[in-house]
Structure 1
Amino acid sequence: MARQLDEQIAGRYPIGQRLRVLDVGMGQGTQALRLARLGHQVTGLEQDPTMLAAAREALSGEPEGIRERVRIIAGDGRDTGVHFLPGSFDVVLCHGVLMYVEEPDALLAGLARMLAQGGLLSLLVRNGDALAARPGLSGDWAGALAAFDTTAYTNRLGLAVRADRLTVLTDTLAGIGAPLQTWYGVRVFTDTAPDDAGLPEDPATAEGLLAAEERAGRTDPYRSVAALLHLCGVRGAP
């Protein structure tokens, strides 16, 4: 996921340019801190108090130069217009958020307005075309059959959430002026692994896993059945 985002940034902006990044639903701040360490100015928006506290604690442990490049704001991603002026950011991240938003079109339109011309909108969503894969690979045949005709599912936290279909999001991105430029699959081979599973301890095995996931995530038909989709839209692109 990080490699894919870095690839899009490197291909779109001059090397060394310090980008203005908005991370909507920043969670614990992992992505925000990574981008700040690379020299970018990052604003994180998060409404969950527990996540806000975790992000602020993580930021407090960073060197002063990195702390100065990160701003954390308590707020809802649907209220970006309250906090920021249109065109304020070069990159807007919305990773792992849309599944909790019942009607995401207004949220996405607001995020697109935050982008400067040529800016990158990066979305990470649950793949609504592959919901049957997880229960099917786990031997839950009733769950697999029920997943074919819906975009609703229960996540690993036990919450009722929703997934997004690639064709629908492609149309939505075109309609809000940030048409889809490229997309990737994420967690093609590793979706059934426990959430707390780390990389294999053996470096060669870990590198092989990452290489296989990366290759599958950009290769048809494998990326189409990934658990997650990473979509990249560009503001004002033809």
Structure 2
Amino acid sequence: MRDATRQTVVWEALRAVLARRSAATGRDSLDIVDAGGGTGGFAVPLAKLGHVVTVVDPTPDSLAALERRAAETGVGVKGLQGDVADLGDLLEYGSADLVLCHSVLEYVDDPAKALGAVGGILREGGAVSVLAANSVAAVVHRALAGQFDEARRLLLTEPSGRRFSREALAGLLAAAGFTVTEVHGVRIFAELMPGMTAESDPDGLIALERAAAGHPVLRDIAAQLHVIAHR
């Protein structure tokens, strides 16, 4: 269920970005880089849509699983071993129409440097899709679990590099030369309700998540923030 709620919101945003980029460039097949794309959960479906996709990931086992997944699906996806900060060394400057940076900024040593590397490989008018853990949600989830002291500690301290507020993500992207155009909340309600409740009406929950994804208040308590930004 969590995968379905996450993918619905993110995929709808990505499809819209790709449609606009194709219309602007006159190219149906776009060049996409999935930084930290692992086993190809996004990369393989994007390749199946006809796009040229490259996955950059530091883990050889993930890249091997990506290769198997792509082969089983009958598509070609290029895998390169490396970190997000290595993008400029692995790929040509200005060679990508879209870069995915999903669940990556939480784990890199320098998020600003990582986004700078992303900007270097994007073409003018290209977009980055960032998916990151939300620091506000961490407070809410600790409180609901009865961990009140931990929730208070998280609330009163600056967010760590492992979680980001909407403002922090926007600031990082702006510093890297991006303009934020969309912010979506991902898994707003799915993380707050018991599993049995969520499973009782999965289609209804997905519809609710979709409707709430852009709400100016609800999106800020989502488990993850999804940001689309352009150069």
Q: TM-score, normalised by structure 1?
A: 0.84
Between 1 and 2, higher relative CO (CA 8 Å, sep ≥ 6) is seen in: 2
Trace 1:70-149 onto structure 2 (pairs within 5 A): 70-148=77-155, 149=157
1:47 match: 58
Q: Which amino acid aligns with 1:191?
A: E
How far apart, CA to CA, are the structure 2 residues paired with 1:76 and 1:24?
A: 8
Distance 1:107 1:194 in 2: 36
Post-superposition offset of 1:172: 2.4
In structure 2, the residue matched to 1:7 is: 16
Q: How far does the alpha carbon of each residue in 1:1-27 deviate from its partner, in whole angstroms, 9 at most, with x for none?
A: 212221222234328711100000001
Q: Which runs of 5+ in 1 are unaligned?
A: 153-160
Inter-CA distance 193–83: structure 2 relative to 1 (3 Å threshold) = farther
Asked if 1:221 corresponds to 2:217, the answer is yes
Match of 2:29 among 18, 27, 32: 18
Give the 3-state SS of the residue equivalent to 1:173 in structure 2. Answer: helix
In structure 2, the gaps of 5 or more residues are 1-9
Pair 1:186-2:186 in alignment: yes
Aligned length: 218
Identity of aligned residues (%): 32
Aligned partner of 1:58 among 54, 64, 69: 69
Q: Is the 8 A contact 2:22 2:29 kept in 1?
A: no
Contact 1:23–1:45 under 8 Å retained in 2:
yes
What are the Cα deviations for residues 207-229 of structure 1, in whole angstroms up to 9, with x where unaligned? 21111111111112100111100
Q: Are the equivalent residues in 1 in contact too, given 2:34–2:99 (CA < 8 A)?
A: yes
Give CA deviations for 1:122-171 in whole Å, capped at 9, x if unaligned: 1001112332011112222122112112323xxxxxxxx61122222222
Is 1:176 equivalent to 2:185 in the alignment? no
Q: Contact 1:182 / 1:232 at 8 angstroms: preserved in 2?
A: yes
1:150 matched residue in structure 2: 158
Q: Relative to 1, partners in 2 of residues 1:222 and 1:10: Cα closer, same or farther, differing over 3 Å?
A: same
2:86 maps to a residue whose letter is: D
The CA RMSD measured in Å over matched residues stands at 2.2
Length-normalised TM-score, structure 2: 0.87
Q: 2: CA distance between counterparts of 1:16 and 1:214?
A: 29
Q: Single out whichever of 32-41 and 130-139 deviates more from structure 2.
A: 130-139
Does the aligned pair in 1 maintain the 2:97–2:122 contact within 8 Å?
yes
Cα distance in 1, alignment partners of residues 153 and 190 from structure 2 = 22
Q: Deviations over 1:77-113 (max 9, x none)?
A: 1101111111000000000000002321111011011
Amino acid of the structure 1 residue aligned with 2:132: V
Using the TM superposition, give the Cα deviation of residue 75 of structure 1 relative to its aligned residue in structure 2, in angstroms: 1.1
Counterparts of 2:124 and 2:47 in 1: how far apart (Å)? 22
For residues 194 and 62 of structure 2, the distance between their equivalents in structure 1, rounded to whole angstroms, comes to 21
Q: Which amino acid aligns with 1:132?
A: V
Query: Is the Cα–Cα contact under 8 Å of residues 138 and 192 in structure 1 kept in the other structure?
Result: no
2:7 is aligned to none
Higher helix proportion (structure 1 or 2): 2
